[in-house]
Amino acid sequence: MKKKRCIVCHRKADVYIVYANAAFCREHFIEFYERKILRTLKEAKFEGRRVLVAVSGGKDSVALLYALTSLAEALNIQIAALHIDLRIGNYSEESVAIVEKIAHELKIPIRIVDVRDFLGVGLPEATRVTKRPACAVCGIVKRWIMNKIAYENGFDYIATGHNIDDISAFWLKALLTQREEDIIRDFSIVTPPNPDYRIVGRIRPQIFLREQENMLYCLFKHAPFIQEICPLSRGATLHRYKEIWGDILEVNPVSQINFVKSLLRLRERIEKPKINMTTCKICGFATTAKDSICAFCRLRLRIQSWKNSLS
């Protein structure tokens, strides 16, 4: 970095982006980062409207909230934030404190909800009861709660902090384990709303940004974020696939972006199987289950059965 100069102002660079072969000072990295999000959404023909930003307190979602706040006028969006307190001990307590601080600083409306109000227990208890991987349970719970709150409060889209490290690792694992359904699964930049089934749209603005870039953006914007990884995610196999990408990127720095872009294009050519969508007979939200009970309600029923067995 000693010899690198910012490609915009030619001052000493603070960061070098290998895949772009470009160095930036702090100021111009922030511009590069925000411009990339703006271009990603514009090219995906995102038209704005009301957006609920899901904020965990980690670097990815915090960077997303700061960036969308800066780009709100350019994107024609109104923003509010949602944090789900998963009740994971000190980790969740620190996350709540960080999210409250950020919302106050950015003057963004925020809603903090307790997972127990929806599920009856915290995530650690739900994982123990169901004996399923914590990340799988967490995904079911967060998706349902986010959609419910966004739908009932008139939001058009939910913004999530999925980055290229997440998606490339997920798809690499899917290819190597022959899980075609995970390749077809919708990780598009923009997923439109489906009001017939009470489904709020999704946007994934960081789909071509790396975790490291999200962290640098937070640091350069002086944005607080929780630096500890979720204690329930330790040992998750997806982390191993992210490590594999580290080796691939040393050979070809552009490989990760090419991989994701190629799969996005290939998915457009694949004839997607017809999905028999219906509404859950318990909660009224969308499901593809043959018995018309969504994954979240099934989870909740199992937890309730466990509670009943204790009384």
As a whole number, mean pLDDT of residues 282-288 equals 95
| pLDDT computed for residue 216 by the predictor | 98
pLDDT in tens, 193-220: 999 999 999 999 999 999 999 999 999 9
- DSSP state at residue 293: -
Which stretches of 3-133 are DSSP H helices? 26-43, 59-70, 72-75, 89-106, 116-119, 123-130
| pLDDT computed for residue 2 by the predictor | 53
pLDDT in tens, 41-92: 999 999 989 999 999 999 999 999 999 999 999 999 999 999 999 999 999 9
As a whole number, mean pLDDT of residues 249-273 equals 89
- The helix or strand, by DSSP H or E, that contains position 240, with its residue range, turns out to be helix 237-251
Number of neighbouring beta carbons within 10 Å of residue 141: 21
* Residue 196 neighbours by CB under 8 Å, 6+ apart: none
What value does the mean pLDDT of the chain take? 93
Q: Within its chain, how far is the Cα of 44 from the centroid?
A: 17
For the chain, which domains are there? Answer: 44-273 (3.40.50.620), 274-311 (no CATH)
Q: Is the pLDDT score of 1 beyond 60?
A: no
